[in-house]
Amino acid sequence: MKTKSLTQKQLYALIGPLIQKAYQVMSSHPQECLSLGRQALELAKQHNFDFGIGHAYIHIGLGYYHQGELAQAMENYKQAEAVFVKINDIPGLRAVYNNIGIVYDDWQDCEKALHYYQMNLDLQQEGDDPKVKCNILINIGIIHYGSGDFQAARQCFQDTLDLSRSIGFAYGESCALGHLGKILLQENDFEAALSHFRQAIHVSEQHNITGRVVSLLSNIADVCLKRRDYPEAIEYLGQAMQKAIAINNKLSMSVIALKFSTIYRDLGDMALQKSYLERCLSLAIPENYRDNAVIALQELARIYEFEGDYKKALKTYWQYQEIQKYLSDQTRIQHIEQLRVQMQVAEKEREMELIRSSNQALEKQSKLIMRQKNKLEKAEKALTEWNHSLELRVNEEIMKRRQQEQIVIQKSKLESLGRLSAGIAHEINQPLGLINIGIQNLFNQLNLGQADKDYIDEKSQHFTQNIERIRKIIDHIRVFSRDQQSETATLIDTRTVIGNALSLLKAQCKEHNISLDFCPAPEPLLILGNQYRLEQVILNLLSNAKAAVEERFDAFDDAKHIRIKNYLRDQIVIIEVEDNGSGIAEQDLLQIFEPFFTTKTESMGTGLGLSICYGIIHEMQGKIACKSQKASGTTIRIELPACL
C-alpha cells in the first residue's frame, strides 16, 4: 500500500509531539522514552522524513542512556549523526555530538569526550545556540574537574557563568556556580564554597529548578561535614530530603539517606544509622539503584552482626553478594558491549569523515569552478596585454625555478655535511691529536733540557704541516658548503673529487665495519664542471650505498663492501659506485631519479638525493643510470665527457 505524501508542516505536527514527550520522560521513565522514540522513528521512515529520523535516533539513544545501556545509546547516536551529516542539520549535529561526548565521559575516555565537545563548539558559528555552548562548557569543565585539573575546570565554569548571565540562562548559571563551589570545597576554601552554593540556590529557587536546589543543599552539607559541623550538616540534608520528596526524586532521596547514615555512624548513633540505611534500601532496591544498595547492604550486615542477629546479617550479606556479583557481571558485559560498539563507532567515524571530506571537496570544487569561470572572463579581456609581457614573465619564472633548485641543492649539500660530521671531526681530530702529542713531547724535552735547535725546528715543521692539513680540510668544507650557483665550469680531475668525498666518509665506514675500496687511475681523468657539485653527487651515492649495506647486514658483519671505480673508455670518464647492500626492487628502478620518490621511511629520507644527482650530472652534459637487484646490491654508473 502506497504511503500518503505529507507536507513538512504535517510531518512536524505528527512526529514533533512524540519527540517532545520522549524528551520530557527520558530520565524519569526511560522505557517510555524508548517506546516514543521508536514510534517516531517508524513514522519518520515511512515518510522518508530525515529530520524526524535523526531526532528519533537521538531520543532512542537517550532512553538507553538513562537505563545505563551506554553501548546501545552510542549506536543510536551514531545513526543520528549519519542522518544529520547527510542533511547538514547543524543544531542536530550539535545535540548528537554533545550526547556522544557524555557517553565517552562515562566510559572514562576523556580524550574522545573532549574531542566531541570541541566538535560541537566548532559548529557554533554555523548554528549558534548560547545555551548549548553553556552545556558543553559545563561538560568539559566536569571532565577537567574529574581529572584533577582544577585550573582548566575553573576557567570552563567561569566562562559558563559569564555567558549564562549575559543571556539569562538560569540553569547554566546555577550549574556553573555549583561546580565552582565544588572546586573551592576541594581547595578547603569553605566560606567561598558556601557563598557560591547559596548564590546557586537563590538562582535555582527563583526559576523553580528544584532538582538543582536538592543537589546544592547536599553540597552545603558536604561543607559542614568537612568542618565536622554535624548539626548543620543534618539541617541541610533534612532540607534537601524534603525537597527531593516534594518532587519524588527517589535517586536523590536514596543518596541523602546514605549521607545521613554516614553522619550517624560517625556520631555513634547506630539506631539512626540503621534506620537511614533501611530507608536507603527501601528506595534503592525497587528502583534498581544498585550502587547505593551495595553500600547500604554492606553497612547493614555489619550492624546486624554487631547486634548478634546473625540470621539477618547472613541474609543481608547474601543480598549484598548477589547485587555485587550482578554489578560485576554487568560491568563485564557492558565492557564487552562497549568494545564492540566502539569498534563499530570507529568504522562509522571513518565513514563520516569520508562523507565530510567528500562534501568539502565538492564545495571546494564548486568554488574553484566559479573562480575559474571568473578568471576566464577576465583573461579574455586581458589576453592582448598578457601577450606583450609573456616573455618577461616566463624569464622570471625560469629564474625563480633555478633559485628554488639551487636552494634544494644547497639544502641537500648541508644535510650531507650534517650526516658526515663524524667523518669530518675525525679528519680534524687526527692532526689535532698529533699536534697535542708533539707539544707534550716538546715540553718534556724542554723540562729535561734536551731540546736543541734541530729538535725544536723539527717539531715546529711537524706542527706547521698538521696545522696546514687542518686548514685545508676547513677550507675544503667552507668552499664545498657555500652556494656555487655562480661558479663557472673548470677542468677537474675526477680522481681528486672522489678522494675528497672519501676523506669525509671513510671514518664512518671504518666505524661501521664497511670495506671501502678505491684504486685511482694512474693518469688524470679530466672533465669540465663544478668540482664541489660533483663531490656532492659522489657523497650522496656513497651515503646511499652505506645505508644499503647497513640495511642488509648487521653491525658486526664483515661482508659489507663499497667499491668505487673511475676509468676512461671511448673519451668518456666513467665513475661507478657499487655496493653489496639490500638492492632496489625492479618495480622501483624506473622511479628512483624522480623527485620525492623514496623507499625509506619519512625520518630516513625525503626522496630528493638521487633527483638532485640526476640534475647535476645532466647540467654537466653527462648521464647517470642504475643497475640493481633486490638483496644482491646496486651499481650507480655516471658517464661524463672527457677533456683530453
Which mean pLDDT values do the consecutive 10-residue runs of the chain (644 residues) have? 68 88 79 91 91 92 81 88 88 86 78 81 69 80 82 90 90 91 92 93 87 88 91 92 84 89 91 91 78 84 84 80 64 50 60 68 76 75 67 64 56 54 62 74 77 76 73 62 61 91 80 88 90 85 89 86 93 94 87 73 56 84 91 92 88
Do the beta carbons of residue 303 and residue 273 sit within 8 Å?
yes
Residue 53 has what pLDDT?
93
Residue 337 has what pLDDT?
53
CA distances from 457 to 387, 437, 464 (A): 75, 16, 10
Helix axes 421-448, 453-481, angle to 10 degrees: 170
Rounded to a whole number, what is the distance in angstroms from the first to the last CA of the chain?
96
Q: Which amino acid is at 3?
A: T
201 is written with which cell numbers?
540556590
Residue 336 has what pLDDT?
44
DSSP 362-374: HHHHHHHHHHHHH
CA distances from 30 to 21, 25, 37, 395, 627 (A): 11, 6, 10, 74, 72
Look up the pTM and report it.
0.43
Cα four-point dihedral sign 402, 408, 412, 418: positive
**Residue keyed to cell 563520516:** 352
Report the candidate in 497, 338, 531, 504 with the shortest Cα–Cα distance to residue 418.
504
Residue 520 has what pLDDT?
87
Q: How many CB atoms lie within 10 A of CB 425?
A: 12
**Residue keyed to cell 680522481:** 495
Distance CA 172, CA 165 (A): 8
